[in-house]
Amino acid sequence: MRVLLVEDEPQLVKEIKDFLRSENYVCDVAQKVKDASENLATNPYDFILLDLGLPDGDGLELLTEIRKFQEMASVIILTARSEIDDKVKGLQMGADDYLSKPFSLLELKARMHAILRRKSGLKNSEISIDGFLIDFSAKAVSYLGQEIKLTSKEFILLQFLVLNKNRVLNRFQLSEHLWGDHLDDEYQSNYIDVHIKNIRKKLGTYASTEWIETVRGLGYKVKI
């Protein structure tokens, strides 16, 4: 999952960035409206965490661009402002949620999970597919109670496919979610195939993994 953090307060930037990275999100930071615009025009994001009071303008200005260029992105407004107007305006302009500062990082995480669940139509933080249980909060996969050890990259990949169930994701999209801006250094198109092969092998010890489909010439899809 790739996140753009638009925030100008250095301490908060550091805390959120470190936290998201420890949760295996890829996190880009923009401290000004101008920088955020550049990020929005170049990279696809799953989440945009948007501060409103920025040194060169109002974060709300970015919502129009976000809606235009970032169809997949969920937006959470981070605001110190107590004015109800800004929150209402933000939500009307397409933000998915807002958090009032100060907030706890665990609350941020919970809100992000809630949005992901809502968007993917999942009611809980876990999903069961053909006997496999994938638990997004615990970052764990099991089959009939037996834990299956996946590496963090394998889990992120599986989670991303499951959250986008019934949609084909190409290798580039999948790679971007694993490596983000570091893609250029690490990217090799067969990395994804290797990870998928390993996931299938580990899960396949227990039961069929036919629900993880290879779509020839395009990429992969989880069919539920």
Chain residues that interact with Ca ion, rule: CB under 5 A: 8, 51, 53
- Closest to Ca ion by CB, 78 vs 133, is 78
CB of 31 to Ca ion, least distance (A): 9
- Closest to Ca ion by CB, 44 vs 53, is 53
CB of 50 to Ca ion, least distance (A): 10
CB of 38 to Ca ion, least distance (A): 18
- Closest to Ca ion by CB, 80 vs 138, is 80
- Closest to Ca ion by CB, 51 vs 176, is 51
Number of residue whose CB is nearest Ca ion? 53
- Closest to Ca ion by CB, 8 vs 86, is 8
CB of 92 to Ca ion, least distance (A): 21
CB of 77 to Ca ion, least distance (A): 12
Distance separating alpha carbons of residues 176 and 181, to the nearest angstrom = 8
Distance of CA 161 to the CA centre of its chain: 11
Q: Which residue blocks in 43-83 are alpha helix, DSSP H?
A: 60-69
Q: Which residue blocks in 43-130 are alpha helix, DSSP H?
A: 60-69, 84-92, 105-120
Q: Which residue blocks in 99-182 are alpha helix, DSSP H?
A: 105-120, 152-163, 171-179
Question: First-to-last CA distance in the chain?
Answer: 21
Contacts of residue 52, Cβ cutoff 8 Å, sequence gap at least 6? 58, 59, 60, 77, 78, 79, 81, 86, 90
